[in-house]
Amino acid sequence: MQIDEVVWQVINRGHCSFKIKTISQNFCRNEYNVTGLCSKQSCPLANSQYATIKEEKGLCYLYVKTAERAQKPKELWEKILLSKNYEQALAQIDEQLKYWSNFMIHKNKQRLTKLRQMLIRIRKMRLKGFKELIPIKKKAERRDKIREQKALVAANLENAIEQELIDRLKNGVYNEIMNYNTKAFEKVVGQNQMEDEEEREQQELEEEEEDYSDEELIFDPNDLEEDDDEEDQDDEEDDKRLFQKQTFNQLRRDNDEVKDIKKKKPRVQLQYEEEEEVEDRKKQQIAF
Amino acid sequence: MTSVPLVSVFSADDSSKVTAKHIPLPAVFQTPIRPDIVSFVHTNIAKNRRQAHAVNPQAGMQHSAESWGTGRAVARIPRVSGSGTHRSGQAAFGNQCRKGRMSLPIKVWRRWHRRVNIKQKRHAAATAVAATGIVPLVLARGHRISQVPQIPLVVEDKIESYEKTTDALNFLKRFGAFEDVQKVVSTKVVRAGISKQRGKKYRVRKGPLVVYFNENAKLLKAFRNVPGVEVVNVTRLNLLQLAPGGQLGRFVIWTQSAFAHLDKLFGTYRYSSIIKDGYQLLRPLITNPDLARIINSNQVQEKVQPAKTTKVLHEVQKKNPLKNTKAMDRLNPYAKKQRAAAAAAIKANTKGTKKIKKNKALKKASRAAYNKVAASLNDATKAAVQEEQDIKVKYFSVQKGAAQTE
Q: How far is the alpha carbon of A69 from chain B, nearest alpha carbon, in Å?
A: 9
**Please, what is the Cα angle at A227 between A221 and A228, to 5 degrees?**
55
What pLDDT does residue B353 have? Answer: 56
CA dist A202 and B74 (Å) reads: 79
pLDDT in tens, A168-226: 888 877 776 666 677 777 777 775 445 556 566 666 666 655 545 444 445 555 555 54
Q: Chain B window 3-42: which residues touch A at a Cβ cutoff of 8 Å?
A: 3-4, 33, 35
Chain A residues closer than 8 Å to B152 by CB: 71
User: What confidence score (pLDDT) does residue B404 get?
Assistant: 61
pLDDT at B249 over 50: yes
The residue-averaged pLDDT of B97-112 equals 96
Q: Is A13 on the interface with B (CB under 8 A)?
A: yes
Please judge whether B3 and A3 are an interchain contact, meaning their C-beta atoms are less than 8 angstroms apart: yes
Least-confidence region, from A91-105, A172-186, A216-230, B231-245: A216-230
Alpha-carbon distance values, B362 to A55, B350, B354, B359 (Å)? 93, 20, 17, 5
Amino acid identity of residue A81, one-letter, is: L
Q: Residue B35, preceding bond cis, omega within 30 degrees?
A: no
Cβ B135–A1 below 8 Å, yes or no? no
User: Which of B153, B150, B160, B276 lies closest to B213, judged by CA?
Assistant: B160
Looking at every residue in chain B, the average pLDDT score rounds to: 91
Size of interface A-B (CB pairs under 8 A): 84
Per residue in B46-65, pLDDT (tens digit) is: 999 999 999 999 999 999 99
- Is the Cβ pair A10, B141 closer than 8 Å? no
CA nearest to A68 within chain B: B4
Answer whether B306 touches A (CB < 8 Å): no
Chain A interface includes B307 (CB < 8 A): no
d(CA A41, CA A61): 21
pLDDT value at residue B79: 95
CA distances from A94 to A60, A219, B226 (A): 15, 88, 47
Beta bridge partners of A80: A62
Residues of chain A positioned with their CB less than 8 A from the CB of B4: 70-71
* pLDDT per residue as tens digits for the range B83-93: 999 999 999 99
Residue A273 has pLDDT above 70, yes or no: no
State the virtual CA torsion across B257, B261, B262, B267 in degrees, nearest 10. Answer: 160
Interface of A with B in 38-97 (CB under 8 A): 45-46, 70-76
Q: How large is the ipTM? A: 0.72
Interchain contact, A3 vs B139, CB within 8 Å: no
Q: CB of A14 within 8 Å of any CB in chain B?
A: yes
